[in-house]
Amino acid sequence: MSAVGGVLWKLRRCLIDYEILSMSRVFAYIPPDEEIEIDCRRRDDKVLRSALFTHEDEECHDVTFESYPTSSSLAVAVSSSSSSSSSSSSSSSSNETKSMILDEIALTNLEILVNNFDRTEKGSLWSFLNRCRTAMGRRLLRSWLCHPLYRVSDIIRRQDAVGELLTLPLYESIEQIRVVMKTLPDLERLLSRVHSNGLKNKGGYVIDHPDNRAVMYENYNIRKIKDFADILTGFEQVSRIIKTFISIDIKSPLLRLAVKSSTKSKSSSGGGKFPLEEITHLLHHFRSIFDEKQAKKDGNIKPCPGVNVDYDRAKDDISRCEKELDDYLHAMKKKIGVSDLKYFGSNKDRYQIEVAMNQCGKVPSDWISKSQKKTHRRYRTVFIENKFNELVHNEERLLIAQKDTLRSIFEKFDTSRHIWSDAVTCLALLDALSALSIVSSFPGYSRPEIQLLSADDDYEPKLHITAGRHPMLEYSMLQR
């Protein structure tokens, strides 16, 4: 609770506590080198693990929330940890041990992320393996490097996925897919931005929050609309990427998670985690609720009917008031016997009945004179005054509803955040695996064989390398 309090204090001081906590993505962080007894049958996965994908056989350890923290997640340490070791001491000491533990010293000495010469990425393992095409894939691959797999079954599962990507026709498809991936925006960060823009009261309980009193001297909505259009286009491209795997038989369980639909259909056997049907339906809905070109040009969204209830009601009330005023003018023409009566004026002076000077004698005594010129005189009645005030009020409602339309669209989009997040995670997994497959395809590289220790080996680890080469050193020399 002390850690939670410290985090909340920092978030509140930065004025982003409401944005972060409203996503309900807070989970407990348990250091992997601590042996903590956890009853898996009683624990709340949403609090302790918050895994995006949960499988009883843990096939998806590569993309659990622990190893792939998103930019909008908040991890809170619930217990103190002693100094970290460079690797787990025993594979059987804890059922929770899934990856090695690399502390800062180990990462530095092994030059995993940066080199020891000038502290840049050049010559590091990260710079050599980073062949990802998306920001999401880079974050996942970086997490993999900092948390190497520990269990043999997990290592073999990832090896099978990388090996299958090197086979035809997958290899040819991956080359084309990676070209498309390079054009994708950072969908994960855009999802967080959409959530922030969709909050009804971004400042939360802070009345004097900067967002509540900021004055924009440019049309900031244009940028929001552009980001929203980018995220829709990005997910459309991701859906097309997944559709290329529909007719391809995937054997690797880990690869199936990323490229196969989460539901069975006539054209796909399913077995994956990508929500293709849900995303297709959502994209069609959000593309049809407003005119994207007009919104980008004007910076305002005029929603289609059914999108914003308040906007629709205000628009209907305006039409009703205008019709009643037109009907009233038509009735006055018959009542006073003047056929050329018409409304005159603009803005606040609208709906003044204009009467020719030679017809003013027919005007009833209860009409109120507003203005005149040589040829005409203009009047209003009590009915027009009341109805015009009602019309102005409805127009103000319409303007408020129109301004809130963009926020309400973001809010509705954010209600399906779990679907979008699953798609982003699948894409990140595919990108990271394809990056490893690119490196694996280099000349001279082979698949290492990992075996469990047996009683005959006296439980002494053994490492056997034939004609080995230092990958980073070789790569650095070739770069010269």
Exposure string over 83-93, b if 16+ CB within 10 A, otherwise e: ebeeebeeeee
Q: Domains plus CATH for the chain?
A: 309-413 (1.10.1420.10)
Rounded distance, CA 328 to CA 330, Å?
A: 5
432 contacts: CB under 8 Å, gap ≥ 6: 62, 132, 137, 140, 141, 144
Q: What is the arithmetic mean of pLDDT over 451-456? A: 74
Q: What is the arithmetic mean of pLDDT over 386-393? A: 93
pTM: 0.76
Structure tokens at 89: 């001491």
Contact (Cβ atoms closer than 8 angstroms) between residue 356 and residue 383: no
Structure tokens at 408: 């309400």
Residue that has been written with the tokens 């807070």 in this structure? 26
The answer on pLDDT for 10 being more than 80 is yes
Dump the DSSP string for 133-163: SSHHHHHHHHHHHHS-B-SHHHHHHHHHHHH
Structure tokens at 414: 């954010």
Mean pLDDT of the chain: 80
CB atoms within 10 A of CB 187: 22
Q: Name the range with the highest mean pLDDT among 54-58, 250-254, 357-361, 362-366.
A: 250-254
Residue that has been written with the tokens 């990856």 in this structure? 99
The answer on pLDDT for 325 being more than 90 is yes
Structure tokens at 337: 């016997």
Query: Which tens digit of pLDDT belongs to each residue from 14-36?
Result: 888 888 888 877 777 766 555 44
| Alpha-carbon distances, residue 346 vs 164, 350, 392 (angstroms) | 71, 4, 12
Q: Is the dihedral of CA 84, 63, 54, 199 positive or negative?
A: positive
The answer on pLDDT for 340 being more than 90 is no
The mean-pLDDT minimum among 74-78, 100-104, 462-466 falls in 74-78
